[in-house]
Amino acid sequence: MNVLVTGGAGSGKSAYAEGLACSLSTQRRYLATMSAEGAEAQARIERHRRQRAKGNFETVECAGTLPTGDYAGVVLLDDLGNLVAQALFAPDGSMADEQEVLARLDAEVGRLFLHADHVVVVGNETGAEGRSPYEGTQVWVRLVGSLACRIAARADAVVEVVAGIPYPIKGAIA
């Protein structure tokens, strides 16, 4: 089963996705995409580490690219926003080509869907807060949304989490 879990910041989507991953397999790989830049990011990373320690996940740190290979079990990718940001923005502040990043990340997630028994992808609801005056943010919003649309089209199920409550949008969760 391949599932996209989406929701706004702080909605509970990661906790829901981790619980779902635990229900799908006892073999669990967690693809962590957040970089520890700043105290707030480090605190979120530590909270997520404590949260997933209960689920006995093997953690793989991903910096803008996803690992390849077969995996017997469930792969949890958390989250698209951080993955896109790392692939899009270089340390010097320059941006990669939007369409190249979209094509590459779409192919990498597609390979996950083909080479793992189950994949749970945590997405981000972006753009609802209005248009940013910053070009980089506009590109990031477009990329995250476009990638989520592509993943949702291939996923068996899509769930939106609002205030900790999961709302199925597509398919059924087994």
Exactly one of 28, 29, 48, 118 is catalytic; name it.
Answer: 48
Taking only Cα atoms into account, the Rg of the chain, rounded to an integer number of angstroms, comes to 15
Please, are residues 4 and 121 in contact by the beta-carbon 8 Å criterion? yes
Distance CA 75, CA 71 (A): 8
Please, are residues 148 and 80 in contact by the beta-carbon 8 Å criterion? yes
Distance CA 85, CA 91 (A): 11
Q: Would residue 48 show up in a list of annotated catalytic residues for this protein? A: yes
Residues designated as active site:
48
